[in-house]
């Protein structure tokens, strides 16, 4: 039934202008704004919808993953742009990169507290 639907994801924020600044300037994504909502232009073609929610509560899980070829280089660049990486345990290095089982991954938050990650492609 839905196999031909071009699905897209979305999540809420409490401050759309602040989110637009973060996603466009800090992360370098293309961002369109329409009807008070943002559409993040990401590789692959399907946008990510970011919508306002006055009583926004960030999810306790990763809402958006960015696959990258070099996690360490990407983390260093994001740190230089002011991003702070989350530490969830002892399996992360000084940069915040998880180097345990599975792919390299590092988590950070957007201004609304949504958890994002860079993950080894």
Question: What are the pLDDT digits (tens) for 1-17?
Answer: 888 888 889 999 999 99
Output the average pLDDT for the chain. Answer: 94
Is the distance from CB of 29 to CB of 81 less than 8 angstroms?
no
Count of CB atoms situated within 10 Å of the CB of 39: 18
- Catalogue all structural domains in the chain, each as residue range(s) with its CATH number: 10-120 (3.10.180.10)
Q: Could you tell me which of 120, 100, 9 has the C-alpha nearest to residue 59?
A: 9
pTM here is 0.92
Average pLDDT on 53-60 reads 93
Maximum separation of any 2 CA atoms in the chain, in Å: 46
């Amino acid at each position: 039934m839905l196999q031909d639907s071009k699905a897209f994801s979305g999540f809420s924020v409490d401050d759309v202008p602040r989110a637009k600044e973060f996603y466009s300037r800090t992360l370098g994504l293309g961002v369109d704004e329409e009807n008070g909502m943002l559409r993040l232009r990401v590789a692959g073609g399907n946008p990510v919808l970011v919508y306002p929610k006055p009583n926004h509560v960030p999810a306790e899980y990763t809402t958006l993953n960015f696959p990258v070829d070099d996690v360490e280089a990407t983390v260093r660049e994001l740190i230089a742009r002011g991003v702070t990486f989350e530490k969830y345990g002892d399996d992360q290095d000084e940069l915040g990169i998880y180097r345990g089982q599975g792919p390299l991954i590092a988590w950070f938050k957007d201004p609304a507290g949504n958890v994002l990650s860079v993950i080894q492609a």
